[in-house]
Amino acid sequence: MFDVRSYRKAASVGQALTLLAADPEARPMAGGTNALFKLRRGSEAFRSLVDIAGLPELPGIALDPDGGLRIGAGVTFRELAASPLVAEKARCLAEAALAMGGPQLRARATLGGNLCGGGHCAACRRCRYPRCPAAMVGADGPAPLLALDARAEIAGRAGKRLVPLGQFWTAPSRTAVARDELLLGVVIPAASLGAPGSGYVKYAMRAAMDTATFGCAALCRLDGGRIAGLRLACVMAGPTPRRLPKAEAVAPGRLPDAATFAAMAAAAAGEAAPRADWQGDVDFRLHIIRRQIEALLAAVARRAEDA
């Protein structure tokens, strides 16, 4: 049984914002794959729902006039994974979209829901929190978008604002989107698009339908056979999705070889702060972080060399 106290279907973003403002208990629901999961497990957080699925302002993947890529919050993971534009311009995001869940989940789950409350906390297996937080743990969307330097477009009743994704996850289970606001979409700047050295790696306990034990995206640019720039972003190496600046700082000017990748992976493990939970203890997670990052860096450097 779903213990729903109220359900309202919004016809526009404006109406959804009005409904959210009118009821302090109300929460938006997009695909519902996370919200209904938590409700089913006894969470009180989603008893008052404002359904935003299918709002005309939220879909769409398109280049904007200055060459950036805009992806609506209502875009599903199936649409992301199938988009030729995403595959060509943001390969790490296309790979993350395909790594997410399974076909049924991807058909329903939206990017907005993933960034605002995707994944589920480790406690979800036995979750009886009186007010389940909209946990932002182990989701596949954040790392590639962080590596791509994307900004979130957020709408409130006072208007719209853009927030760099580096400032989007403010604390565990908290985002820059206030309870009575909506994420409209993300914008990836033109300068981040089309890098051939782009990729995503996910380590999970199961091959499908599982949130990441560790997920990492990388963007690598070579110049004259040396690394000119490298961005690394991940989930599950700390309480919120994050870039790994100390590991990134190792790369510039170095050869894209095993020694560089090992040094970067060691720096990443040094700045990571993974937690211990049912998926693994801290040592196991640090081992996974090192190995996955080394493998990812080798793959993206090869792609950059082959381009």
String of contacts with ligand FAD for each residue 179-198, x by CB under 6 A: ---xx---------------
Q: How far is the CB of 110 from ligand FAD (least distance, A)?
A: 3
String of contacts with ligand FAD for each residue 45-64, x by CB under 6 A: -------x------------
The four Cα atoms 100, 184, 86, 141 give a dihedral, to 10 degrees, of -30
Task: List the one residue out of 247, 246, 225 whose CA is nearest residue 297.
Answer: 247
**Which one of 79, 95, 140, 149 is in contact with ligand FAD (CB under 6 A)?**
140
**Which one of 19, 35, 165, 222 is in contact with ligand FAD (CB under 6 A)?**
35
**Which one of 26, 121, 147, 177 is in contact with ligand FAD (CB under 6 A)?**
177
Please report whether residue 233 would count as binding ligand FAD according to CB under 6 A. no
**Block residue for tokens 């060691």:** 266
Q: How far is the CB of 13 from ligand FAD (least distance, A)?
A: 9
**Which one of 100, 145, 267, 304 is in contact with ligand FAD (CB under 6 A)?**
100
Please report whether residue 150 would count as binding ligand FAD according to CB under 6 A. no
Q: How far is the CB of 243 from ligand FAD (least distance, A)?
A: 18
Alpha helices in the chain (DSSP H): 13-22, 35-40, 77-82, 84-89, 91-99, 103-108, 111-117, 142-147, 245-250, 258-271, 282-306
Q: Which is nearer to ligand FAD, 109 or 165 (CB)?
A: 109
Please report whether residue 210 would count as binding ligand FAD according to CB under 6 A. yes
One-character DSSP codes across 262-302:
HHHHHHHHHH--PPPBTTB-HHHHHHHHHHHHHHHHHHHHH
**Which one of 8, 37, 59, 254 is in contact with ligand FAD (CB under 6 A)?**
37
* Alpha-carbon distance values, 275 to 122, 145, 175, 238, 261 (Å): 10, 23, 20, 7, 24
Please report whether residue 20 would count as binding ligand FAD according to CB under 6 A. no
**Which one of 118, 197, 199, 274 is in contact with ligand FAD (CB under 6 A)?**
118
Contact 108, 54 (CB under 8 A): no
Q: Which is nearer to ligand FAD, 130 or 225 (CB)?
A: 130
Contact 34, 117 (CB under 8 A): yes
Is residue 27 classed as helix, strand or coil in its secondary structure? strand
Residues 85, 95, 212: CA angle, nearest 5 degrees: 145
CA 190 from centroid of its chain's CA atoms:
19
3-state SS, 222-258, equals: EECCEEEEEEEEEECCCCCCEECHHHHHHCCCCCCCH
Q: Which is nearer to ligand FAD, 31 or 197 (CB)?
A: 31
Q: Which is nearer to ligand FAD, 37 or 129 (CB)?
A: 37
Please report whether residue 117 would count as binding ligand FAD according to CB under 6 A. yes
From 22-30, 60-68, 249-257, 286-294, give the range in contact with ligand FAD by CB under 6 A: 22-30
Q: How far is the CB of 211 from ligand FAD (least distance, A)?
A: 5
Please, which residues have CB within 8 angstroms of residue 228's CB and are 6 or more apart in sequence? 221, 222, 252
Footprint on this chain of ligand FAD (rule: CB under 6 A):
27-35, 37, 52, 73, 100-101, 105, 109-110, 112-114, 116-120, 134, 139-140, 177, 182-183, 209-211
